[in-house]
Amino acid sequence: MTALDSLRDIASVDAITTDLLRTAYDNDGSFLHRLDPRVLLLWYVVFLFVPWMFYEMDVLLALLVFVSVLAVLSRVSVYLLAIMAFSVVTSLTSYAIVTAFTGDPIAAMKALLPFTLKVTIISISSLAVFSSMSPKTLARGLLSLGVPRQFTFVIAYGYRMLPVLFQEYHELVNALRLRSAVPDSPGRFRWRYYRYLLRLSMKAFYPMIFNVAKRSRVTVEAMEARGFSNSLDSDASRELQLEGMEIRPGDGVFFCGSLIYVAIVASVL
Amino acid sequence: MATATWSGFRGVSFDRQDMMVFILIMSLSGLQNAFTEILPEFTVGPLELGVGEFLFIPIVLVLLFRTVWAALAVPVGEIVFGEILLGEFNGLGAIEGLLLITAAYYFATTLLQDPENRTQLALVVFLAEAIEEFFAMFIDMGKIWIGVEELEAVPGLPESIVILEVVDFATQMLITGIVFGVIPALYLYPKLHGKVEPLLGMEPYEGERGALIWRGFSIKKLALILLAFPIAFGAEAASETGSFINVVFRPEFLDLYGQNFIAVPILVTTIVAIVVWYRASRQDA
Amino acid sequence: MNTQNDANISVDNLSVRYPGSDEYVLDGASVEIDAGEFVAVIGKNGSGKTTLCKSFNGLIPHFYDGSFGGRVTVGGIDTADATVSQLSEHVGYVFQEFDNQLVSPTVSDEVAFGPINHGHDDYRERAARALSLLNLDGIEDRFLWELSGGQKHLVALAAVLTLEPAILVVDEPAAQLDPVHAGETYDHLAALNHEQGMTIVTIEHQTEYIAEYCDSVVLVEDGRVAWKAPVEEALNRLEALRRNDIQPPQITRTAAEMGETDEQLPVGFDEGVRWFRNVLDSTTPNASPLTGADAGENLPARNDNSTPLIRFSSVSHTYPTLRGEDKQVLDALDLKVYSGDRVALVGSNGAGKSTILKLLTGLKTPAEGTVLINNTATATTLPERIADDVVYVPQNPESMFVKDSIRADIAHYLQSRDQEDVAARTDDVISFLDLEALEDRDGRLLSVGQQRRASLAIGVATAPSIILLDEPTGSLDLASRTEIGRTLSRAGERVEAVIMATHDLELAAEWANRILVLDDGKIHMDGPPKTVFAATDVLAEANLEPPQVVRLSKELGCTPVALSTDELVSHLSSERPTASTGASHQ
């Protein structure tokens, strides 16, 4: 690949954003998606603690299998899973290398493996839960759990703005590129190119800040011109926002089933 | 003049200007987070070599608007854009970020007394990142301490953990703190100061020429901020949770299956607890 | 449901001063707007039109610091005593930056936002009603960022209608939309006005729309409401309109120049055609060719052997969409542009205009086919290098401002290329384009007109041989448009070709020597303006409507068609019987 190609690739945020947006916007129809957000959040809190109660490898492996199945069912992006796997492996390796100088790397690995598994289980359950919940569902779940509306609102707002912001930022970087000069020689590992692009992407934030500031002002005015502050203390409005959320037998089965699985694993293995 | 005040959030007022600032900082902090996620980086264990984040964006904005809400908008933006939307959410990490970043950045703003003093500005930005990274380092170590059985018994492991974490702290401070923090912030802050605030209809912070950083500093304040946040959040969560159980948690199928159905999850939870407790005690024996 | 007193607006001696400014934007403005009126608010850029309208729903004074005086009553409610939230059920407001008004991910969430905030449990019915009223059924589940600008504007409108306001304020609908969508929006507003008796206030500077849709006109001048008058009368006050940089409809201008100043001039198109037929003594509809040098207009002379400056060879381009399918924007397009060409790319939104410009910057490379600039393929050249010869001025002038002053923005290009005498050359550009007064200001804080001018200057300062302009006159008043024209003509001797994507067919007619009609990624017609504008069927197929003066000359049987009011006037005057016969019609 020539330097030119790589410069194009890095700069073509199009492909990457499209990819990321697919991850962010395509979460309908997965298994966990159908569950009530409150149950799912509660389940998540429970599974933040469960792995820490065990030290045995087989129990942890069984838990890992369980959350992995959930992750597959909720169609977690393979890309994200790969990143996670990579970071787990490199993390262990780096400890092994450093311990080789300070002590016994084999013993260290043995001690660290269960810990790493626990962290992995939690990470996978995070992925499963949050990539299957649409931001709207999550916002409703949090609202019903008492998080103030101003903050649950920004989740939905972020969902709306993410592609717009990406697009706008991309255009600013492009506008800068058209008025800048590329370094004459790429340098070793093309570092001059990378430095050039990095500088552009930092500079592009200056105009971006002004654009977003103007937008925030209009947005808040427009929200109020449709009665946003009324929704903050009105019970009627709150009821409508939470309308249709109900805990169905399926939610109970999922929640209890998970706990029973943990119990069985804990007692059998 | 009449002002529409939005419903307060537990005594601390949160008005339309706070909302504008919140949306502004949240969007930009989220955007820089999502963008730097895309950039390639080398991750070697806990060591991250690469662009962690464009720290100068959120810190400069918080220093311009100087409220708790401004500081809170930073982690919220990162969570909403960088994690929830892109599916990389991590519950514990998010809570850690909410507490640490908010506290560290807010503390830093109280230290900036003279916005035209560049040394002070540099120091404040550096401190914001240092406080955050420092506590994050301890939390990391703490997690391993709790999670690894008999850590001290493994020869060389505790040392290597400390070495790796300290090296990580140092590289983070150098890359994120200085290269993408202090240096660009020194350039950006004066350019925005006095220009962005009026766009949101606010007066720029004047400070006091020649005021020293120490005027804004007290150990008591630092301790209070660092303690107050976890407590505040804990209390908030507890009280709100209490109310939600009364108000909204009314499963519809209760009507269908009768009140007895509520016993099922309770029963299951109890059984699980007993089994786990039994296992744990057997191990000790 | 809208009773009389529910829908009137009364502004009494309103004065507004924003913080950080010594001047009052409004200083004693008073106006009465009756229930059921369709009113246009006009005035210079920055005259306080928007400030006046923001007082109707209480954003002024509740959302701004500063000083306020006077009293605004809406449907009997004093806005000072009500919150913006309460007023939102009486006054709907569609912002000029309507894109920033939309806060929810999907259309259905967006239209339900208002009624849910107000706790109306019939929000689903309200949303469905509003959507079907604007013919938006079927897009409920779409993400907002997937929609076109026109659709988003209608969604913003629908989202406001769900609160069932008696008064609706729409800020500059025609400025941000292409003519087809602007017309559609106005049709909907007219229907709301006639069928539901809604009071409608639009801020507008395109008088053709005002003439066609509005009942009366409010002129804001020097911080006051100078007058409010019925539309025919208002648009006949040519002197006052020009003083406020508002271009009267072409038809009115042409009629005025025919010399019948003491007569009420026509303001609408149909009315205008009748008026002209009458004046011209309809017994001899004229079909004789226009005399003069322009009659046999051709594309600029060129040597067939000369190499084109720009060459597209069977270029196709697609965009991936999130829904999995690719959207084709250009379809095997061939195009050559020669030195001396001033090309106007016209076509509705999505026809491929912007894509052609982006391909020429090298920021996008063609999916199929090649784009050559000076015989170099863009696909193998970095955009930064292409920018040595080509400058692109985007639709949103703000994206040209990357520095904190206009001066720094102009110097940026020269500095980044390590050119000599940056300071001196920057000075030259600034004085050449009369930007001294603006050079130290931040581009983002200027008025729209100043922004356009500055963004053009930044582009011109790169001494390009090819200039690409994307919608250079969007949302500009008359003065700013004239200035754009001047800037372009001063662009410098190196310039060989200018390509402009535009909805503004009036500008295209007056400025271009070659017009390309695009539709569905194909070139439907390519020729000199007279030929293209005479082909009304091709234009109609591409969803374009020629300027009034072109349509009028066609109606009156002039061939070839006239492209400017001057041309039509001189033609008609020569055809016209005599002044005395003309006078007999009065």
Domain boundaries, chain B: 16-234, 251-285
* CATH number for the domain formed by residue range(s) B16-234: 1.10.1760.20
Q: Nearest chain C residue to A217 by CA: give it.
A: C100
Minimum-distance CB partner of B191 among C85, C404, C445: C404
More confident residue, C425 or C116: C116
Interface B:C, Cβ pairs < 8 A? 25
For CATH 3.40.50.300, list the domain ranges present in chain C.
Answer: 4-247, 341-365+379-527
The domain segmentation of chain A, as residue ranges, is 1-27+134-233, 29-133+246-269
Q: How far is CA C125 from the centre of its chain?
A: 34
Residue to mutate among A98, A118, A143, A170, with most B CBs inside 10 A, is A98
Minimum-distance CB partner of A259 among B88, B163, B268: B268
pLDDT confidence tier of residue C343, bands split at 50, 70 and 90? very high
> Can you read off the two tokens belonging to residue C197?
């008796």
> What's the confidence (pLDDT) of residue A80?
72
Give the mean pLDDT of C546-575.
Answer: 84
Q: What secondary structure, in 3-state letters, does C208-255 show?
A: HHHHHHCCEEEEEECCEEEEEEEHHHHCCCHHHHHHCCCCCCHHHHHH
pLDDT confidence tier of residue C27, bands split at 50, 70 and 90? very high
DSSP-assigned states of every residue in C60-104: HHHT--SEEEEEEEETTEETTTS-HHHHTTTEEEE-TTGGGG--S
> What's the confidence (pLDDT) of residue C321?
67
Q: Which residues on chain A are in Cβ contact (under 8 Å) with C121? A: 236, 240
A178 touches chain C (CB under 8 A): yes
| Binary contact (B2, C61; C-beta < 8 A) | yes
> Can you read off the two tokens belonging to residue C548?
């009034």
Min distance C454 CA to chain B CA atoms (Å): 19
Minimum-distance CB partner of B4 among C68, C83, C445: C83
Lowest-pLDDT choice from C21-25, C297-301, C345-349, C399-403: C297-301
Min distance A206 CA to chain C CA atoms (Å): 7
More confident residue, B47 or C460: C460
The side-by-side arrangement of strands in the sheet containing C497-501 is C390-393, C466-470, C497-501, C342-346, C514-519, C522-527
Minimum-distance CB partner of C402 among A175, A218, A220: A175
Min distance C182 CA to chain B CA atoms (Å): 29
Residue B231: pLDDT above 70? Answer: no
Residue type, A67: V
> What's the confidence (pLDDT) of residue B148?
78
Tens-digit pLDDT profile for chain A (269 aa)? Answer: 344 444 444 444 555 556 556 656 665 556 677 788 888 888 888 888 788 777 788 888 999 999 999 888 877 777 677 777 887 888 888 888 888 888 888 888 888 888 888 888 988 888 888 877 777 888 888 888 888 888 889 888 888 888 888 888 888 888 888 888 888 887 777 788 888 888 888 999 999 999 999 999 999 999 999 999 888 888 888 888 888 777 788 888 888 888 888 888 877 77
Domain C341-365+379-527 has CATH 3.40.50.800: no
> What's the confidence (pLDDT) of residue B239?
45
Sequence-distant (≥ 6) Cβ neighbours of residue C260 within 8 angstroms? C279, C582, C586
Rounded-to-integer distance, Cα B1 and Cα C60, Å: 11
> What's the confidence (pLDDT) of residue A23?
59
Rounded-to-integer distance, Cα A40 and Cα B120, Å: 46
What is the per-residue pLDDT across C151-171, written as a single tens digit (0 to 9) for each?
Answer: 899 999 999 999 999 999 999
Rounded-to-integer distance, Cα C160 and Cα C157, Å: 5
Rounded-to-integer distance, Cα C215 and Cα C5, Å: 19
Number of residues that this document lists for chain C: 586
Q: Which stretches of A102-212 are assigned E, i.e. beta strand?
A: none
Sequence-distant (≥ 6) Cβ neighbours of residue B51 within 8 angstroms? A198, B36, B39, B41, B175, B180
Rounded-to-integer distance, Cα B63 and Cα B65, Å: 6
Give the mean pLDDT of C185-206.
Answer: 94
Give the mean pLDDT of C393-406.
Answer: 86
Residue C289: pLDDT above 80? Answer: no
> What 3-state DSSP class applies to A204?
coil
The average confidence (pLDDT) of chain A is 81
> What's the confidence (pLDDT) of residue B65?
93
Residue to mutate among B3, B63, B88, with most A CBs inside 10 A, is B88
What is the per-residue pLDDT across A52-97, written as a single tens digit (0 to 9) for each?
Answer: 777 788 888 999 999 999 888 877 777 677 777 887 888 888 888 8
The average confidence (pLDDT) of chain C is 85
Q: What are the backbone dihedrals phi and psi of residue C225, each rounded to the nearest 5 degrees, phi first?
A: -85, 105
| Binary contact (A229, B4; C-beta < 8 A) | yes
pLDDT confidence tier of residue C30, bands split at 50, 70 and 90? very high
B215 touches chain C (CB under 8 A): no
Rounded-to-integer distance, Cα B282 and Cα B271, Å: 16
Lowest-pLDDT choice from C31-35, C255-259, C314-318, C523-527: C255-259
pLDDT confidence tier of residue C432, bands split at 50, 70 and 90? confident
Residue C560: pLDDT above 60? Answer: yes
Nearest to A200 by CA among A2, A48, A3, A13: A13
Does residue A130 contact residue B159 with C-beta atoms inside 8 Å?
no
CA distances from C466 to C355, C398, C485 (A): 16, 21, 16
Could you name the CATH architecture of C4-247?
A: 3-Layer(aba) Sandwich (3.40)
pLDDT confidence tier of residue B240, bands split at 50, 70 and 90? very low
Min distance A244 CA to chain B CA atoms (Å): 10
ipTM of the complex: 0.84
C113 touches chain A (CB under 8 A): yes
Q: Which residues on chain C are in Cβ contact (under 8 Å) with A171? A: 394, 396, 399
Give the mean pLDDT of B62-69.
Answer: 91
- For B178, which DSSP code? I
Minimum-distance CB partner of B265 among A27, A55, A255: A255
What is the per-residue pLDDT across B163-189, written as a single tens digit (0 to 9) for each?
Answer: 888 988 998 899 889 999 999 999 999
pLDDT confidence tier of residue C138, bands split at 50, 70 and 90? confident
Give the mean pLDDT of C554-568.
Answer: 84
> What 3-state DSSP class applies to C116?
helix
For the CA atoms of B221, B226, B228, B232, the dihedral, rounded to the nearest 10 degrees, stands at 150
pLDDT confidence tier of residue C477, bands split at 50, 70 and 90? low
Touching subunits for chain B (3+ Cβ pairs under 8 A): A, C
What is the per-residue pLDDT across C488-525, written as a single tens digit (0 to 9) for each?
Answer: 776 666 788 999 998 888 888 878 889 999 988 899 99
> What's the confidence (pLDDT) of residue B22?
93
Please identify among residues 28-87 of chain A the ones whose CB lies closer than 8 Å to any CB of chain C. Answer: none
Rounded-to-integer distance, Cα A268 and Cα C345, Å: 74
Residue to mutate among A10, A33, A50, A150, with most B CBs inside 10 A, is A150
Q: What is the CA radius of gyration of chain C?
A: 25
What is the per-residue pLDDT across C243-282, written as a single tens digit (0 to 9) for each?
Answer: 998 889 989 988 888 865 567 889 999 988 988 888 876 4
Lowest-pLDDT choice from A122-126, B38-42, B59-63, B154-158: B38-42
Sequence-distant (≥ 6) Cβ neighbours of residue C111 within 8 angstroms? C126, C127, C130, C131, C155, C158, C159, C162
Min distance A184 CA to chain B CA atoms (Å): 23
> What's the confidence (pLDDT) of residue B252?
45
Q: State the residue for tokens 């930044």.
A: C458
Q: Which stretches of B35-180 are assigned E, i.e. beta strand?
A: 42-44, 47-49
What is the per-residue pLDDT across B86-119, written as a single tens digit (0 to 9) for each?
Answer: 666 666 677 778 888 888 898 888 888 888 899 9
Q: Which residues on chain C are in Cβ contact (under 8 Å) with B3? A: 62
Rounded-to-integer distance, Cα B45 and Cα B33, Å: 20
Give the mean pLDDT of C178-189.
Answer: 88
Q: Which residues on chain B are in Cβ contact (under 8 Å) with C80? A: 2
The side-by-side arrangement of strands in the sheet containing C310-320 is C326-337, C310-320, C368-373, C376-377
Rounded-to-integer distance, Cα B28 and Cα B31, Å: 5
> What's the confidence (pLDDT) of residue B233?
54
What is the per-residue pLDDT across C575-584, written as a single tens digit (0 to 9) for each?
Answer: 655 444 443 3
Residue C571 neighbours by CB distance under 10 Å: 20
